[in-house]
Structure 1
Amino acid sequence: MGLTARIRTRDGWAVSHAVVTLTDMTGAQVLRAEADAEGAVRDTTPLAPGAYTVIVTAVGYAPAASSAIVTASGRADAGNVTLARQGGTELPPPGPWTIDPAHSSVGAVAQHLGISSVHGRFTEFRGRIEIAPDETAKSRVEAVINASSIDTGNAMRDEHLKSPDFLDVVRYPEISYLSTGLTPAGSDRWTVHGELTMHGVVRPVDLNLAYLGTGADPWGGTRAAFRATAELHREDFAMNYNQVVQAGIAAIGTTLKVELDIQAVQGETLPQA
């Protein structure tokens, strides 16, 4: 008996400090519970059968409300409740934002032997976001990655990826991205249109961008968080190396899934921390 729920952010993290309030159809509060460290609510207060409203609040997040039905068993499951950061339905305040590499990640996933995945990341990069004051579509993103900073957790594989078979970092030491436009794709999602320069080839690449919210940091600044994904094909960037193993299966897949988790600090520079 009682109420169960799981409180999560839009990117799947538990909200451990969330408070869940249950009200009946008259608006009277019948239950109040706090999520545990895993974002779970497991309250055993007996509930009378009927319709209720579940209200979830947490500092720094927009409140969420949903309906719940308590069955004859005296329990209700609110399921997964997703909270959006305050300000999560629009882009951050206008002006320049500087990407913080220490609290961001640039990763890629490729298929290996047709049965598993190899995860890699670039450890050195820099970037800037310019939020346009009036027309969101005119906002800009630019980023530069040090191609030789590739890290897949295997030194031999990393050296091969740096070789002319793949990134050819001696001839092409940087990978760059420059946006050309922004199209809304939902209340807190956008498609970033831009051009990616890699291995000496320039191709149009769209990023699927989710804005996760804005908040203060411990150094007196303001930060915004984003998550973006894209799909790339190696042959589009003249990286055609392939070793075929038994049964015609390629050792390394030709498709790369790019995953970006970005924190940006408001202003032209990063805090000295």
Structure 2
Amino acid sequence: MKLSGLIAAVAGVLMAGSAFAADAYDIDPAHAWVGFKTNHAGWAHAHGAFKTVSGSISFDKEDVTKSSVEITIDASSIDTNDDKRNTHLKSPDFLNAEEFPQITFKSTAIEKTGDKTAKVTGDLTLLGTSKPVTLDVTWNGESPLPWDANTIKTGFSATGSFNGVDFGITKMADFGLGPDIALDIDVEAVKK
């Protein structure tokens, strides 16, 4: 074999190895919880969650900085344990879910902070406005399903916060809310 052929073969193996370092996962919609809470006039924190969540994760266990995540949330799936309040939150006063049906998060940088922890910064898009938000993320582990060894799941927990007014939810103060919205996220994802 010529030297140039050998170099090309070695380069191909190295590039293939690095290209496959990250594993691909789909977020399991039945095991994805995106919860939030915000101050309600100093009386308590108003809580809610989104029931329809999907997305994908590229997870490089050897170098988490090369990982990525994309999450899509159906804005109209908001649930705050009160139908009247849910309807109001979907209106133009808050999420304007008809005009902006999706809330998305796409990672832009990941900083490892511990053996199983990282800061994941990404663009949160809400009401057509995109701004960076940083989440503190913990990898909870990975294993096959107890009843199906061919299906591998991994799981993550994350917390973070953002200012709702910065994203255009200008009516928050009129109802004694916020302005900060705290996030509490848990997702399980299935390896492709």
Decide: shared fold, TM above 0.5. Answer: yes
- Unaligned 5+ segments in structure 2 are 1-20
Q: Is the 8 A contact 2:90 2:96 kept in 1?
A: yes
CA distance in 2, matches of 1:135, 1:261: 22
Q: Is the 8 A contact 2:33 2:49 kept in 1?
A: yes
CA distance in 2, matches of 1:173, 1:125: 12
Query: CA-to-partner distance for each residue in 1:159-218, whole Å, 9 max, x for gaps?
Result: 111011110011100001110111011121100111010011000011100111111112
Q: Does 2:66 align with 1:141?
A: no
Residue aligning to 1:265: 190
Residue aligning to 2:129: 201
Q: Equivalences for 1:1-273 in 2 at 5 Å? A: 94-132=22-60, 135-217=63-145, 218-220=147-149, 221-242=151-172, 244=174, 251-267=176-192
Residue aligning to 1:9: none
**What's the TM-score once normalised by structure 2's chain length?**
0.83
Judged with a 3 Å threshold, the aligned counterparts in structure 2 of structure 1 residues 154 and 197 are, in CA distance, closer, same or farther, namely: same
Q: Is the 8 A contact 1:195 1:202 kept in 2?
A: yes
Judged with a 3 Å threshold, the aligned counterparts in structure 2 of structure 1 residues 178 and 115 are, in CA distance, closer, same or farther, namely: same
CA drift at 1:243: 5.1
CA distance in 1, matches of 2:31, 2:137: 17
CA distance in 2, matches of 1:185, 1:95: 20
Judged with a 3 Å threshold, the aligned counterparts in structure 2 of structure 1 residues 242 and 195 are, in CA distance, closer, same or farther, namely: closer
Higher relative contact order (CA 8 A, sep 6+): 2
Q: Is the 8 A contact 1:225 1:263 kept in 2?
A: yes
**What's the TM-score once normalised by structure 1's chain length?**
0.59
Query: CA-to-partner distance for each residue in 1:231-269, whole Å, 9 max, x for gaps?
Result: 01111101110455xxxxx621211110101111111xx
CA distance in 1, matches of 2:140, 2:68: 18
Q: Is the 8 A contact 1:178 1:194 kept in 2?
A: yes
Give runs of ≥4 in structure 1 deviating > 2 Å. Answer: 132-136
CA drift at 1:141: 0.2
Aligned CA RMSD, in angstroms, stands at 1.6
Q: Is the 8 A contact 1:176 1:196 kept in 2?
A: yes
Q: Which has the higher helix share?
A: 2
3-state SS of 1:103 partner: strand
3-state SS of 1:100 partner: strand
CA distance in 1, matches of 2:91, 2:49: 16
Q: Is the 8 A contact 1:114 1:253 kept in 2?
A: no
